[in-house]
Amino acid sequence: MTQTTAQTAVNSAVPHNLTGVDYSRPPKRKTGGLVIDVHTHTRDAALTREYLRVADEYGIGRIWTMAPLEDVDALKAAFPGRFEFIAIPKWQNLGPGDDFIAEWMRRLDEFYKRGSRLIKFHMAPGTQKRTGMDLDSPAIQRVMQHAYELGYHFMSHVGDPRAWFGEDRKYKPSEGQRSFDQQFPMLERMLEKYPDRIHMGAHMGGSLEDMDSLQKRLDRYPHYIVDSSATKWIVRAIAEQDTARVREFFIRNQDRILFGSDLVVGEKYDHDHYASRYWVHQKLWETDFNGLSPIEDPDAAEGKPRLAGLNLPVEVLEKMYHTNARHWLYGRVLGRTID
Ligand SMILES: [Zn+2]
């Protein structure tokens, strides 16, 4: 057995490389300029450095991150101008009760001093269960109002993959979990309440699997935008629907969709793990690739994750990759221009 064959055999056994992709050779981009990634989770500078090596290889420039408050100053010092910081609570403290809320409020002020103007509300069903709160809860409303008064704009994670809802799934109605459809009224109430702030819905607003409802939301709320992040979920949502129809959706809403990866920096991840996310996103948006996705997905039909590329027009890609982030996030949220 040659070295190359052995290498391929090893690679195809890892969850981020089922098909033996050489991630050290990024596909050539269809667009010019660097891509802005609006949704990541970086951490301390040393771990983040390895991730940035991949970001550099894949043409990713500026990055928005949900790094813990404790890492913000060090990241700023190590990588000047590379990151913008989205305000988050201390996830380890996540739970019911006033302590979590009080601590979150304090963090909001600290993030604000460091230049943050976007606050993330993580309201997936699992988070609702752990905290006993949702976007309508008085305590969360206090955080929201405090953020609003400081001048923050909003970001939210609402919903979760449709495959996770049901009696034999993660979110069981018999355990008091709301259905997929029931996740979104609280979001709409928040959108109604703060029409003068940008609101970015993570992971295609949690509802790429229900494009009709997402379209209505985008039409009704001109301040609502979405990011394209969460690789497995988005890849699956596209593969399970009619490609032409999804492509039409992206073209129609080309001014409202921002590129995001949802990459998480951590000790257990290596170069190829990080690269696999950018590789798949690039194939998804830029090509008409139709075949097995290299990233393992336990929720995929018959355990075979399919990647169905949308082959978006270059002018749509340009908007998704940087123009929209410049307009909505740097312009409207931060009130500044970038070169
Ligand atoms: Zn995320």
Going from the Cα of 40 to the center of ligand 1, the distance in angstroms, rounded, reads 6
* DSSP labels, 135-158: TTSHHHHHHHHHHHHHT-EEEEEE
CA of 179 to the centre of ligand 1 (A): 21
Half-sphere exposure (Cβ direction) of 114: Cα atoms closer than 13 Å: 26
User: Are residues 214 and 245 in contact, defined by beta-carbon separation less than 8 angstroms?
Assistant: no
Q: How far does residue 68's CA lie from ligand 1's centre (Å)?
A: 13
Structure token pair of residue 231 = 């690789």
- Angle 211-220/243-252 helices, nearest 10 degrees? 10
Asked if residue 310 lies in contact with residue 246, where contact means CB atoms within 8 angstroms, the answer is yes
Q: What is the pLDDT of residue 153?
A: 98
Tell me, in angstroms, the distance from the centre of ligand 1 to residue 192's CA: 24
**Ligand 1: centre distance to CA 120 (Å):** 10
Question: Is 157 in contact with 122 (CB distance < 8 Å)?
Answer: yes
In a domain, 108, yes or no: yes
The alpha carbon of 6 and the centre of ligand 1 are apart by a number of angstroms equal to 35
Cα 230 to ligand 1 centroid, rounded to whole Å: 7
In angstroms, how far is the first alpha carbon of the chain from the final one? 51
Q: Tell me, what CATH number does 166's domain have?
A: 3.20.20.140
Query: Into how many domains does the chain fold?
Result: 1
pTM of the model: 0.95
Q: What angle do CA 6, 8, 13 make, to 5 degrees?
A: 100
Give the distance (Å) from ligand 1 centre to CA of residue 65: 9
Backbone angles phi, psi at 170, to 5 degrees: -65, -45
Query: Going by DSSP bridges, is the β-strand pair 290-292/306-308 parallel, antiparallel, or unpaired?
Result: antiparallel
23 domain residue, yes or no? no
Q: What is the pLDDT of residue 1?
A: 36
Question: Cα separation of 189 and 194, whole Å?
Answer: 9
Dist. CA 5 → ligand 1 center (Å): 35
Q: Is 18 within the bounds of a domain?
A: no
pLDDT of the chain along its 339 residues, tens only? 334 443 444 445 689 999 999 999 999 999 999 999 999 999 999 999 999 999 999 999 999 999 999 999 999 999 999 999 999 999 888 888 788 999 999 999 999 999 999 999 999 999 999 999 999 999 999 999 999 999 999 999 999 999 999 999 999 999 999 999 999 999 999 999 999 999 999 999 999 999 999 999 999 999 999 999 999 999 999 999 999 999 999 999 999 999 999 999 999 999 999 999 999 999 999 999 999 999 999 999 888 999 999 999 999 999 999 999 999 999 999 999 998
Coil, helix or strand at residue 165: strand
Pairwise CA distance, residues 311 & 182, whole Å: 33
**What is the distance in A from the centroid of ligand 1 to the CA of 200?**
12
Using alpha carbons, list the distances in angstroms from residue 262 to 52, 186, 233, 274: 14, 23, 11, 10
| Residue 214 counted as domain residue | yes
Q: Compute the distance from residue 262 Cα to the ligand 1 centre, in Å.
A: 5
277 CA to centre of ligand 1 in angstroms: 13
Per-residue model confidence (pLDDT) at position 293: 95
C-alpha–C-alpha distance, residues 161 and 2, integer Å = 41
Q: Is residue 25 one of the residues assigned to a domain?
A: no
Instruction: Quote the DSSP letter at residue 173.
Output: G
Range of the domain at 84: 34-333
6 assigned to some structural domain: no
How far is ligand 1, taken at its centre, from the CA of residue 122, in Å?
9
Dist CA 208 CA 161 (whole Å): 9
- Do the domain assignments include residue 318? yes
Q: For residue 41, how far is its CA from the centre of ligand 1 (angstroms)?
A: 6
d(CA 47, CA 144): 31
CA of 9 to the centre of ligand 1 (A): 31
Give the model's pLDDT for residue 3.
Answer: 40
User: How far apart are the C-alpha atoms of 217 and 171, rounded to whole Å?
Assistant: 24
Ligand 1 centroid to residue 3 C-alpha, Å: 37
Q: How far is the CA of 157 from the centre of ligand 1 (A)?
A: 8
Is 3 within a domain? no
Q: How far is the CA of 118 from the centre of ligand 1 (A)?
A: 14
Give me ligand 1 centre to Cα 26, in Å. Answer: 23
d(CA 8, ligand 1 centre) in Å: 30
- Tell me which H or E stretch contains 218: helix 211-220
